Amino acid sequence: MTPTLPRTVRAVDTAHLLDLAYEAAMHSFSQRLPVDWLRKHLAAEATHYLFLTLVQRLTHRPEVPLQLRCQQLLTVSTGEQIWGLLDVLPDTFDKIPETLDAASKKDIVSRIEHAVTVREWAERTAADTGSEEKPRP
């Protein structure tokens, strides 16, 4: 049975987000950014946000555990906030403390809706620096 999806936003620091990305990589979750890319581009002292959007069960890959797909609002080293996706284990998500009030959650969801995507930001940054680096799972 699929769990009920709590409509919530959780805040994590950069170290915690890197741990979540590493866990997603270990499970070969499809929605994640490479840990090395995140380590290079995230603002070290920033707070990032995860907004639950759906429960994902891969019936064609029964070895892959149930996961929660989160929209993430990431703060990068330029100070900009960008939008991406991250799949997280339900138990892992449940362990992230609930620290935001309703108004803050609403504001974060609004910022996610207006943020540029990770890909758009990476392409723009690459064009500005002449680099070819693009995030790939």
Is pLDDT of 115 > 80? yes
22-26, 112-116, 121-125: the lowest-pLDDT one:
121-125
Model pTM above 0.75: yes
Helix (H, G, I), strand (E, B) or coil at 40: helix
Structure confidence at residue 2 (pLDDT): 55
Is pLDDT of 93 > 60? yes
Quote the distance between the C-alpha of residue 101 and its chain's center: 20
Beta bridge partners of 11: 49
Is pLDDT of 117 > 70? yes
Indicate the pLDDT class of residue 46, thresholds 50, 70 and 90.
Answer: very high
The amino acid at 94? D
User: In this structure, what token pair is assigned to residue 35?
Assistant: 């840990």
Round to whole Å and give the CA distance between 71 and 68: 10
Query: Mean pLDDT throughout 2-9?
Result: 73
Rounded mean pLDDT of the chain? 87
Is pLDDT of 123 > 70? yes
CA atoms within 13 A on the CB side of 68: 23
Structure confidence at residue 7 (pLDDT): 79
Indicate the pLDDT class of residue 124, thresholds 50, 70 and 90.
Answer: confident
- Asked whether the beta carbons of 76 and 45 are under 8 A apart, the reply is no
